């Protein structure tokens, strides 16, 4: 039988030089060098007033290194970071063998809000000095992430009040059912069961009381039109958002990414599913790292006439897609055939012995003659214009055509043409004319620019610029949800993850100062 050298699996005492564990070219090496030699952390030092009295504190540089190294490995929980500082050699090396508790790490992250933007800007200056920012094209986009809040606790003030009443009624119903059961049996029943019931009743009443207290101390949120927005009891700054995986209670994390090396030059969050209001703030945040020729790109979620006109007034080159861009692009004319088809085994139509539905004729079934101002119905009768053209919507015009009652009276297609043939004398149909467009309007100039061959080539770089960044943060860094609450704290956590991404770019570029 062959003989092999023994293998030791137990504990051993090994000499370890902690500084040698930070290998040049690695993320940990770049992070350590950046924090110790490049960043000005005097704002974090100002948080401590223990020069002569008080216990010594953990260096905020050490805490920042631990958090950023943990985020780079997908360790978001403060307890995970605490364990890593005790057992992972790179965490031990980068922290100088200090062992902050999970409470100290959590407190540090939650209090970073006011200082994180300055740190983010300093890292960008270092990236710029290394030539990682090209200033040719910026891509702006967002990703919706769940918040640390339950969507069941979200609603308008009226909906939340209704929920509180239902919770109170549920508690009262449990109590009455238990009392009725005890009165029938004459005994109070099992003590353990009674304790569980009482815990359930107490939990329902506490939740109802919490909801009523929230309604008493907060005012309704409203949008720009004055309509009330739904708010969340746990995290009022978050919002319900529709995603491809369903509705979540969360935030829309925003990023502006430079096309040369995919460095994030601006990062922010919004507690709204609509991203239109974030375009101009993101452009403003990215302005220090842009020049006069920098092209800003964004998808249709950011398009509005107000945004396009504002960018035009600033003289900022931009390609912002509108909702009709793909319909005008012949490359997408067959895209519908690749969409998922409905399940043939799932029919949403109601079943029964009712009347079969009748498909009535619509405007597309009529032949319009703009010059003669007439319309020919499917039965061959002529409808004539009333002569009036009405202004509707955003510059659209409507022209009405009506048939003669005697033409419709004995028509064989009357039941298909009129929804109420028993009381409608004649058919009327409307033709909507395309609105008169000003060729010099900024929105029209934007459409012409994005429809041109050069505009399509430039805009196609947007998705290849920003989507890999979100993939890195969500998949490699395992950013599946925010763990903090409140817009300030969530924004700081998002910028910490964006910092990790940018420091990785520095590390991969071979930066050694």
Q: What is the pLDDT of residues 387-446, one digit of tens each?
A: 888 877 666 788 899 999 999 988 989 989 998 888 899 999 998 876 666 778 888 899
One domain, residues 243 and 320: yes
Q: pLDDT at position 183, please?
A: 74
Answer yes or no: is 265 within a domain. yes
pLDDT at 341 exceeding the cut of 80? no
Other residues' Cβ atoms within 10 Å of the Cβ of residue 381: 18
pTM: 0.81
For strand 318-320 and strand 367-369, is the pairing parallel, antiparallel, or unpaired?
unpaired
Domains contained in the chain, number: 4
Q: Give residue 436's pLDDT.
A: 65
pLDDT score recorded for residue 48: 79
Query: What does the angle CA 378 – CA 383 – CA 389 come to, to the nearest 5 degrees?
Result: 125
Domain-located, residue 189: yes
Residue 344 counted as domain residue:
no
Q: Is residue 229 part of a domain?
A: no
pLDDT band at 12 (very low <50, low <70, confident <90, very high): confident
Q: What percent of the chain has pLDDT over 90?
A: 60
DSSP code, position 476: I
In the prediction, which pLDDT does 437 show?
Answer: 65
Question: Under a CB-based contact definition with an 8 Å cutoff, are residues 127 and 505 in contact?
Answer: yes
Structure confidence by residue, pLDDT tens digits, 87-112: 999 999 999 999 999 999 999 999 98
User: What's the rounded mean pLDDT across residues 126-146?
Assistant: 95
Least confident of 137-141, 292-296, 327-331: 327-331
pLDDT score recorded for residue 339: 67
Same domain, yes or no: 322 and 384: no
Least reliable range by pLDDT among 71-85, 338-352, 444-458: 338-352
Claim to verify: residue 143 and residue 188 sit in the same structural domain: no
Q: What is the pLDDT of residue 188?
A: 59
- pLDDT score at 307: 94
Going by C-beta distance under 8 Å and a sequence separation of 6 or more, which residues neighbour residue 122?
Answer: 38, 39, 40
* 320 and 247 part of one domain: yes
Average pLDDT, the chain: 88
- The two tokens of residue 343 are 């399940």
94 and 143 co-located in one domain: no
Model confidence pLDDT, tens digit, residues 22-66? 998 899 999 999 999 999 998 888 887 777 777 888 999 999 999
Instruction: Give the pLDDT of residue 8.
Output: 86
pLDDT digits (tens, 9 = 90+) for 70-89: 999 999 999 999 999 999 99
Q: Which two tokens stand for residue 6?
A: 């023994």
Mean pLDDT of 237-247: 88
Contact at 8 Å (CB) between 106 and 78?
A: yes
Confidence bin at 337 (pLDDT 50/70/90): low
Shared-domain flag, residues 325 and 448 = yes
Residues 257 and 177 placed together within one structural domain of the fold? no
Domain assignment present for residue 38? The answer is yes
Whether residue 259 is found in the same domain as residue 142: yes
Q: What is the pLDDT of residue 4?
A: 92
Q: Are residues 307 and 258 part of one domain?
A: yes
Range of the domain at 381: 364-404+413-433
pLDDT at 100: 94
Q: Which has more confidence, 77 or 328?
A: 77
Q: Are 381 and 411 in contact (CB under 8 A)?
A: yes
- pLDDT one-digit tens code per residue, 252-279: 999 999 999 999 999 999 988 788 989 9
Lowest mean pLDDT among 3-12, 104-113, 290-299: 3-12
Query: Average of pLDDT values for 189-218?
Result: 87
Question: How confident is the model at residue 466, as a pLDDT?
Answer: 96
Examine the pLDDT at 353 and tell me if it is beyond 80: no
Please tell me the predicted confidence (pLDDT) of residue 291.
Answer: 94
Q: Could you tell me if residue 400 is inside a domain? A: yes
CA distance 307 to 141: 15
Q: Residue 301 in contact with residue 275, Cβ under 8 Å?
A: yes
**Short-list 164, 273, 180, 173, CA closest to 214:** 164
- Same domain for 31 and 106, yes or no, is yes
Q: Identify whether 495 is part of a domain.
A: no
pLDDT reported for residue 159: 92
Stretch 327-348: mean pLDDT, rounded? 65
Residues 244 and 200 in one domain: no
**Confidence category of residue 312, pLDDT binned at 50, 70, 90:** very high
User: Does 251 reside within a domain?
Assistant: yes
Query: Is there a single domain that holds both residue 395 and residue 453?
Result: no
For residue 470, give the H/E element and its range.
helix 461-471
CA–CA separation, 378 and 417 (whole Å): 9
Task: Give residue for tokens 């520095």.
Answer: 506
State the pLDDT at residue 336: 66
Q: Which of 325-329, 370-374, 478-482 has the highest mean pLDDT?
A: 478-482
User: What pLDDT is stored for residue 349 in this prediction?
Assistant: 53
- Has residue 347 got a pLDDT over 60? no
Q: What CATH number is associated with residue 292?
A: 3.30.420
């Amino acid at each position: 039988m062959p003989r092999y050298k023994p293998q030791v699996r137990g504990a051993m005492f090994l000499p370890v030089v902690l500084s040698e564990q930070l290998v040049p070219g690695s993320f940990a090496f770049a992070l350590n060098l950046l924090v110790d030699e490049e960043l000005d952390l005097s704002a974090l030092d100002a948080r401590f007033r223990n020069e002569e009295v008080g216990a010594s504190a953990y260096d905020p540089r050490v805490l920042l290194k631990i958090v950023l190294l943990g985020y780079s490995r997908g360790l978001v929980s403060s307890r995970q970071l605490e364990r890593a500082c005790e057992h992972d050699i790179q965490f031990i090396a980068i922290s100088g063998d200090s062992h902050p508790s999970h409470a100290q790490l959590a407190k540090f992250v939650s209090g970073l809000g006011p200082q994180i933007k300055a740190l983010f800007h300093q890292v960008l200056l270092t990236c710029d000095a290394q030539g990682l920012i090209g200033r040719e094209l910026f891509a702006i986009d967002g990703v919706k992430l769940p918040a640390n809040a339950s969507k069941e606790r979200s609603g308008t003030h009226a909906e939340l009040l209704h929920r509180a009443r239902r919770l109170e009624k549920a508690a009262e119903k449990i109590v009455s059912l238990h009392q009725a059961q005890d009165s029938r049996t004459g005994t109070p029943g099992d003590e353990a069961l009674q304790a569980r019931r009482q815990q359930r009743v107490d939990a329902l009443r506490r939740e109802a009381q919490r909801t009523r207290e929230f309604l008493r101390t907060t005012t309704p949120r409203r949008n720009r039109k004055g309509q009330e927005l739904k708010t969340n009891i746990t995290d009022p700054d978050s919002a319900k958002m529709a995603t491809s995986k369903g509705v979540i209670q969360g935030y829309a994390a925003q990023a502006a990414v430079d096309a040369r090396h995919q460095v994030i030059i601006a990062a922010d969050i919004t507690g709204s599913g609509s991203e239109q209001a974030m375009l101009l703030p993101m452009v403003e945040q990215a302005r220090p790292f842009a020049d006069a020729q920098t092209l800003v790109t964004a998808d249709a979620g950011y398009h509005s006439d107000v945004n396009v006109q504002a960018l035009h007034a600033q003289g900022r080159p931009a390609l912002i897609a509108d909702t009709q861009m793909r319909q005008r692009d012949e490359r997408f004319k067959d895209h519908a055939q690749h969409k998922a088809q409905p399940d043939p085994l799932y029919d949403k139509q109601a079943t029964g012995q009712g009347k079969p539905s009748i498909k009535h004729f619509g405007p597309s079934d009529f032949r319009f003659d703009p010059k003669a101002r007439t319309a020919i119905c499917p039965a061959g009768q002529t409808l004539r214009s009333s002569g009036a053209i009405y202004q509707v919507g955003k510059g659209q015009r409507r022209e009405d055509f009506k048939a003669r009652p005697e033409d419709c009276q004995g028509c064989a297609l009357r039941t298909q043409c009129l929804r109420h043939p028993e009381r409608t004398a004649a058919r009327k149909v409307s033709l909507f004319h395309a609105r008169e467009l000003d060729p010099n309007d900024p929105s029209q100039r934007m459409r012409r620019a994005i429809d041109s061959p050069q505009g399509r080539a430039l805009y196609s770089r947007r998705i290849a610029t920003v989507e890999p960044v979100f993939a890195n943060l969500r998949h490699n860094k395992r950013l599946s949800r925010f763990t903090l609450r409140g817009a300030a704290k969530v924004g700081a956590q998002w910028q910490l993850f964006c910092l990790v991404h940018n420091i990785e770019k520095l590390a991969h570029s071979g930066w050694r100062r």
